[in-house]
């Protein structure tokens, strides 16, 4: 019987200890019967606490000034989330009528 490689370091020297698999190189332990959860994935919530996902349609909950221009994005402006990023402005999205922008998740609501 062949054991799977370590999901953290891809080591082939994994051994079994009762129901757990253990990697001797990075000391990662996991249960092969449990669903794998990506710990590095960003989990973001909107202004009212709904979980956001890439591809979701959102609306703005506050008037936002666009930095570097005189443009203001009004409440209710729609946007589509392209991806999540680390940092202060954690959503990379396409805003209707304004193009690609970075927004904070606390200023959007899932549509």
Please tell me the distance from the alpha carbon of residue 86 to that of residue 90, in angstroms, as a whole number: 6
Q: Which domains does the chain have, with CATH numbers?
A: 1-34 (2.20.25.10), 44-110 (2.30.30.40)
The pair phi, psi for residue 105, each rounded to 5°, is -65, -25
H-state helical runs in 18-93: none
Q: What is the pLDDT of residues 44-88, one digit of tens each?
A: 999 999 999 999 999 999 999 998 889 999 999 999 999 999 889
Q: What is the pLDDT of residues 7-50, one digit of tens each?
A: 889 999 999 999 899 999 999 999 988 876 665 667 899 999 99
């Amino acid at each position: 019987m062949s054991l799977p490689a370590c999901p953290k370091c891809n080591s082939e020297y994994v051994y079994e200890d009762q129901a757990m698999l253990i990697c001797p190189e990075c000391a990662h332990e996991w249960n092969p019967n449990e669903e794998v959860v990506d710990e590095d994935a960003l989990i973001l919530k909107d202004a009212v606490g709904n979980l956001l996902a890439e591809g979701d349609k959102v609306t703005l909950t506050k008037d936002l000034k666009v930095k570097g221009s005189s443009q203001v994005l009004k409440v209710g402006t729609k946007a589509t989330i392209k991806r999540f990023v680390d940092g202060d402005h954690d959503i990379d999205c396409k805003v209707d009528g304004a193009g690609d922008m970075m927004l904070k998740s606390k200023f959007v609501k899932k549509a």
